[in-house]
Chain A
Amino acid sequence: MENLYLPQIAVIKKIAQETPDVKLFTIEFKDPEKFTAYKPGQFFMLSVFGHGEAPISITSSPTQKGSIEFAVKCVGSLTAELHKMKIDDEIGLRGPYGNGFSADSLKGFDLLFVGGGIGLAPLRSLINYVLEKKADFGKITILYGARTYDDMVFKEELKAGWRKSAQVITTVDMGENLCDGNVGLVTTLLPKAKVNTKTTKAIVCGPPVMIPFVLKDLTILGFADDHIISTLERHMKCGVCKCNHCNIGPKYVCLDGPVFTCAEMKLMTREF
């Protein structure tokens, strides 16, 4: 019988400092045979031995073979330890878990990505995937808001890479935006994007305070509930629906999510 809780050993191959508190880790399994295919929107349980395990979403596209990228913000004890680690240090990985984004259900649609802060990390996996298979999708728009310009993750891609084949608009909550000048909340970008709400699917991820406002504005713009997709996060101990921590109503973020449509989220009327 397979042991659900046994992590595979993986090695940190590259570390890039994205922002003052976000690092991008490129990870390879120590035994390349253990590499399993994943979907954008899925997550791994990442172990820092001696400090525990936490769910971390995948930020690389599944088309990138052999290695996996995680963009991790230093917010707690485990992530602080991870930030202290160096190239060739070993961590543990279990997964991939979760339903992930269904790329098939997005085919033929224009796509509107709305990201806030570190919430761009899981979206980047899907963005890079659809940009590589551009013929399958319509017009691609990426809206991104960060607290300040310094807090913007994936600046290279936002400024140059993605702009080659997608419309990219960024904003910052405060200070100067050296990317494209906009200052304000990410919701102020929605009217600027000028998308056709009937032919577009919106994919949203950001801090818990941002998501409800974006969903509301998208609905006002005319998006149907099943055309709005979001990915949620919860405190999680197992990733396999045993520890019971991550439920929102009868749904479990680990197994039924983390990707939900706005129609599904509207049924989650209460936070318990």
Chain B
Amino acid sequence: MMLEVKAIDKEKIKPWLTAMLEETKVIAPEQSHGDLFYEFIDSADEAFLGPYEAPPWMSIKRFFFPQMDKILKYKRGPGGIQVEPVVSEMKRVIFGVRPCDNAALSFCDKWNTADGLNDIYYLKRREQTTIVTIACNQPGVNCFCVYADAGPFAKENFDIQLIDFGDQYLVEVGSEKGKALTEGKYQHLFKAAPSDADKKRFELLLESKGMFHTYVDQRSVTEKLKKDEVPDMLWENMAKRCQNCGGCSYVCPCCICFNVVDKEVSEDEGFRIRTWDNCTFAGYTNMAGGHNPRGEKKDRFMRRYYHKLYYEFDKFGERGCVGCGRCTTTCPGKIDMARVTRSILTRGT
């Protein structure tokens, strides 16, 4: 659903960001020693506006689901124990979000509201955030969002989407929150969309779709997993290469498993903290008393792929992979989503 379509000259992007910074926190891709990360910026000059070749190293997951998040504070006093929630209040704009990360956010929205049970820590942050995506005209070498139905242009759930038209961006406004960033004091920065915008957008999308190097047929893999058609030996061989490093889920924008621990700061006070967790760690399912239903690496490795490509698809009609290719970049054992799915389809019978 598009509310309206406008355009903005490229030289107006920095004044736009500067105006935003006057009233809200802004997160944008920023270069650090040659690598790209989404970071809080203090001035428009810090934002890296492309050309992009691959998505930033880490997704925007951490701005909604921090790696370590204090969720409760408890205090012992004369009247007993007091527990109160720790909820962060911070309005912000995330600028330059890649469509894969935006699609992952739609997935996380579903997970965090599933079964009528709402995770307020996630939703509070979500509510306070405006997402400005930037469509990908040049997918990276490991990208395969087009086969995960997540890109290269965002289809929904963005507040604003920018599409690179050369000397200007097409501005697609997707929500009221997005509209607020193009009106009022921002209005003078924008102009009407070019008359051939639709045609040009279509051509750019087609061109971008033709530039992917990595092909992943998730649909066929889901079918194979459902029918239990992948030989155990293949899983075993792939799992042998897993180093239990957790890198895949660390960089994955859809990996939202968590662990919960208490941390005392004094004898009478402490926090309950939730942290990222990883399903390939042996401790993930280890129970007090020593029973571990997934003590074998192979089981944990299989579970990762069954969960992403089958169980989550079964539950929401969406897979826990948006094709950002970060696990391909990260995995030292070369058993990432792209390679595992390819092995399943070529070697699995």
Residues in chain A within 8 A of chain B (CB atoms): 1-7, 9, 30, 47, 49-54, 73, 75-79, 90, 92, 207-208, 233-235, 237-238, 240-245, 247-250, 255, 269-272
Do residues B300 and A272 form an inter-chain contact, with CB atoms below 8 A?
yes
Residue of B nearest to A233 (CB): B287
Say whether B147 faces chain A, with CB atoms less than 8 Å apart.
no
Distance between Cα atoms of A35 and B158 in the complex (Å):
42
A4-B117 in contact (CB<8A): yes
B83 in complex: contacting residue of A9, A76, A233, CB < 8 Å: A9
Complex interface: chain B residues within 8 A of A248 (CB): 293
| CB-based contact A6/B72 at 8 Å | yes
In whole Å, how far is A240's beta carbon from the nearest beta carbon of chain B? 5
Judge if B85 is at the interface, Cβ distance under 8 Å: yes
B52 is an interface residue with CB less than 8 A from chain A = no
Residues of chain A within 8 A (CB-CB) of B180 are none
Which of A49, A78, A249, A271 sits near B270, CB closer than 8 Å? A49
Known contacts A7-B83, A250-B310: A244-B287 contact under CB 8 Å: no
Segment 60-117 of B: residues with Cβ below 8 Å from A: 71-72, 74, 76, 80-81, 83, 85, 111-112, 114-115, 117
19 A-B pairs with C-beta separation under 8 A = A5-B72, A5-B85, A7-B72, A49-B262, A52-B262, A54-B288, A207-B291, A235-B287, A238-B258, A244-B256, A244-B277, A245-B257, A245-B277, A247-B303, A249-B311, A269-B228, A270-B299, A272-B299, A272-B303
Q: Is the CB of A6 within 8 A of B117?
A: no
Interface core residue of A52, A241, A243, A271 (most chain B CB under 10 Å): A271
B303 touches A6 (CB 8 A): no
Give me 7 other A-B pairs in contact (C-beta within 8 A), A50-B270, A233-B287, A237-B274 excluded. A49-B262, A92-B81, A92-B83, A234-B285, A238-B260, A255-B115, A272-B303
Residue numbers in B under 8 Å from A49 (CB-CB): 74, 76, 81, 83, 262, 270
Q: Which of B286-313 contact A (CB under 8 A)?
A: 286-289, 291, 293-294, 299-300, 302-303, 306-307, 310-311
Q: Is the CB of B311 within 8 A of A247?
A: yes
Report the contact-size class of chain B (Cβ under 8 Å from the partner). 35 or more
A-B CB contacts (within 8 Å), total count: 125
Contact of B257 among A5, A50, A244, A272 (CB under 8 A): A244
Comparing B7-15, B118-126, B321-329, the segment that makes contact with chain A is: B118-126
CB pair B80–A9 under 8 Å, yes or no, is: yes
Q: Is the CB of A245 within 8 A of B270?
A: no
CA distance A3 to B307 in the complex (A): 26
- Residues on the B chain within 8 Å of A47, using CB: 272
Option from B85, B277, B279, B299 in Cβ contact (under 8 Å) with A271: B299
Query: Does the CB pair B112–A50 fall under 8 Å?
Result: no
User: B residues within 8 A CB of A269?
Assistant: 228
| B74→A4 contact, CB < 8 A | no
Q: How far is the CB of A170 from chain B (nearest CB, A)?
A: 22
Assembly CA distance A54 to B272 (angstroms): 13
Bound form: Cα–Cα A4–B274 in Å: 13
Give CA–CA (A242, B251) in the complex, Å.
19
B259 within 8 A of A: yes
Q: Which residues of A contact B83 (CB under 8 A)?
A: 6-7, 9, 49, 92
- B117 and A235 contact, CB distance less than 8 A: no
B190 at the interface (CB under 8 A from A): no
Q: Within 8 Å of chain A (Cβ to Cβ): is B264?
A: yes
A235 near B286 with CB under 8 A, answer yes
Please measure, in the bound complex, the distance between the C-alpha atom of A72 and the C-alpha atom of B274, giving whole angstroms.
25
Determine if B315 is an interface residue (Cβ-Cβ < 8 Å). Answer: yes
Instruction: Please state if A50 and B262 are interface contacts (CB–CB under 8 Å).
Output: yes
